[in-house]
Amino acid sequence: DAKTTQPNSMESNEEEPVHLPCNHSTISGTDYIHWYRQLPSQGPEYVIHGLTSNVNNRMASLAIAEDRKSSTLILHRATLRDAAVYYCILRDLNAGGTSYGKLTFGQGTILTVHP
Amino acid sequence: SQTIHQWPATLVQPVGSPLSLECTVEGTSNPNLYWYRQAAGRGLQLLFYSIGIDQISSEVPQNLSASRPQDRQFILSSKKLLLSDSGFYLCAWSVGGNGELFFGSGTQLSVL
């Protein structure tokens, strides 16, 4: 799988927007960009994913650069409950159904939200 | 709706003792099942995955084994625990063709 690079940590204030960057310069044409987050002492949870176009859901927005070599997860209004480790992961859909679930997690970005 | 159950939540075991962690999934059929481990302050490492009953693939050589005796049951075992087996163990499932992974609440294992 192609590698992603994220900052080790970021800080934000409550109710402010947060932009979490991810670099993936070796991304292939069939790699989807997935974001998961892990709250303390819990398993990771899915946040959002996309291929080329920007994506929005109830949790966040995903902005994908035109060349797809980077992306940004956007939390529009951070809350204290958004404090977590955020993982940016690439998955190749052409790898097949069985390997599609084999997500490779990096170190992620530790997001701290201040009240 | 689908749910995943993982137990126990915490476990303290002496070195050399056996281990059995169980994971069950409800509300779906023929899921892909996964065991991940997270050492303190580190990322998640995939240990095993399974695409069906008695079909187990190991990602890394280790002191652990996995079994899938039923479609929605995944068990992680060890005959003799090592100190290095300590960590946060997570079970997860997915459905083929859908990349979203659903994780259990995890088991914090401390080997002393």
The predicted-structure confidence for B66-112, as pLDDT tens digits, reads as follows 999 999 999 999 999 999 999 999 999 988 645 688 999 999 999 99
Inter-chain touch A100–B97, beta carbons under 8 Å: yes
CB A36 within 8 A of CB A100: no
Q: CB-CB: which of B88, B94, B104 is closest to A101?
A: B94
- The secondary element (H helix, E strand) that includes residue A100 is helix A97-100
pLDDT at B98: 54
Q: Average pLDDT, whole number, for chain B?
A: 90
Give Cβ neighbours of residue A36 (< 8 Å, ≥ 6 apart): A44, A45, A46, A47, A86, A87, A89, A103, A105, B101
For the segment B38-48, the average pLDDT, to the nearest whole number, is 86
Whether A96 has a pLDDT exceeding 60, the answer reads no
Say what percent of chain B tops pLDDT 70.
96
Is a pLDDT exceeding 70 seen at residue A57?
yes
B1 pLDDT above the threshold of 90: no
* pLDDT interval class at A31 (50, 70, 90): confident
The Cα B52–Cα B50 span in angstroms is: 6
Share of chain A above pLDDT 70, in %: 90
- Please say whether the beta carbons of B91 and B33 come within 8 A: yes
Per the listing, tokens 């280790």 go with B62
Please give the pLDDT value at position A95.
57
Residue A40 pairs with which residues in a beta bridge?
none
Residue of A nearest to B108 (CA): A41
Contacts of A97 in chain B (CB under 8 A): 32, 96-97
pLDDT band at A85 (very low <50, low <70, confident <90, very high): very high
Q: Which residues of A touch B97 (CB under 8 A)?
A: 97, 100
Confidence of residue B42 (pLDDT cuts 50, 70, 90): confident
According to DSSP, the residues that pair with B5 across neighbouring strands are B24
Chain A positions touching B36 (Cβ under 8 A) are 105
Banded pLDDT at B60 (limits 50, 70, 90):
confident
Of the candidates A44, A98, A100, the beta carbon closest to that of B103 is on A44
If you measure CA to CA, which chain B residue comes closest to A94?
Answer: B97
Is B101 in contact with A46 (Cβ distance < 8 A)?
yes
User: What pLDDT sits at residue A66?
Assistant: 96
State yes or no: pLDDT of A91 exceeds 90: no
Distance from CA of B32 to the nearest CA of A (A): 7
d(CA B110, CA B40): 11
What CA–CA distance (Å, rounded) separates A38 from A4? 17
Sorted by sequence, the CB contacts under 8 Å of residue A9 that are 6+ apart come out as A109, A110, A111, A112
